Amino acid sequence: MLQVDLKHLPTSDELPDSDDTPVDNEDQNFLPNLLLFLLEYIWKNRDDWYFGVDMGIYHTTGVSPRVPVIPDGFLSLGVERRKNGGSRSSYVMWEEEYTAPILTIEVVSHSYGDEYEKKLDIYRKLGVKYYVIYNPQFWRRDGHLPFEIYKLVDGDYQLQIGEPLWMPEIGLGIGRAVLPSDRFKREVLSWFDQKGDRYLTGEEKADIERYRADAAQKQVDLLLAKLRSLGIDDE
């Protein structure tokens, strides 16, 4: 069994912040970043969470503490939103009081990355509560569903049923959606509330407020026109 010297672990400054491997699918960046931007709005008043995109997670349950696992996206709770008031170059477990991500996300691309075997086992050992695998293009190739969520139950991952899936430990649901404002009509991953309603983007909320304001103004204009037709001073 691998012996790790926990007293002399490297610091984040000593560890590389990337494996310099480019993604081969634009969704690997777009989808997790969209989830991050939504969280920035949903949890704008909270400072106890961190969402990383294509960032190395350094841990002590693998072959070496210098070898990270790099999910396309991950969420940790109970940690500083801004580490020491700044940004993180990587997520180093022993500098986060060994707080494992509660959720990891992998977007399967042309190059199969052991999402269903090796990474699943890594996240299981880390204690990641929820593991999302999004595979809209190659699910037939891999013999899986396009969207799968695994939950850690008694030390093993169990495939969950239902979408969007409500995650009580996080206070959010996750599922697929097509944003009405997207002219490309791309399927994305999004957050949902406990009722199963999708959290709207800031742009969508602004559009709704404009629509409501326009509708209210039209009602006022119709009322004023009616008053004038009756010979009533609209003042």
For residue 146, whether the previous peptide bond is cis, meaning omega lies within 30 degrees of 0, is no
Tens of pLDDT, residue by residue, the chain (235 residues): 455 666 668 787 777 665 555 555 678 889 999 999 999 999 999 999 999 999 999 999 988 999 999 999 999 999 999 988 889 999 999 999 999 999 999 999 887 779 999 999 999 999 999 999 999 999 999 999 999 999 999 999 999 999 999 999 999 999 999 988 888 999 999 999 999 999 998 777 675 456 465 566 667 666 667 767 777 765 6
The pLDDT value given to residue 1: 43
The pLDDT value given to residue 112: 79
Residue 1 lies in a domain: no
Residue 103: which domain range? 6-199
The pLDDT value given to residue 131: 98
Q: Are 108 and 142 in contact (CB under 8 A)?
A: yes
Are 185 and 222 members of one domain? no
Are 141 and 233 members of one domain? no
> Structure tokens of 129?
């509560």
Place of tokens 């697929």: 176
Are 140 and 220 members of one domain? no
- What is the DSSP-derived secondary structure letter of residue 12? G
Are 118 and 234 members of one domain? no
Are 155 and 229 members of one domain? no
With residues binned 3-state (H G I as helix, E B as strand, rest as coil), the percentages for the chain, rounded to 5, are 30, 25, 50
* E-only strand ranges, the chain: 49-53, 57-58, 73-77, 91-92, 103-107, 130-134, 147-153, 156-159, 165-167, 172-178, 187-192
The pLDDT value given to residue 113: 74
Kindly give, in sequence order, each residue whose CB lies less than 8 Å from that of residue 221, ignoring residues fewer than 6 positions away: none
Are 218 and 186 members of one domain? no
Rounded to a whole number, what is the largest CA-CA distance in the chain?
92
Got the DSSP string for 201-226?
PHHHHHHHHHHHHHHHHHHHHHHHHH
Are 174 and 204 members of one domain? no
Are 205 and 112 members of one domain? no
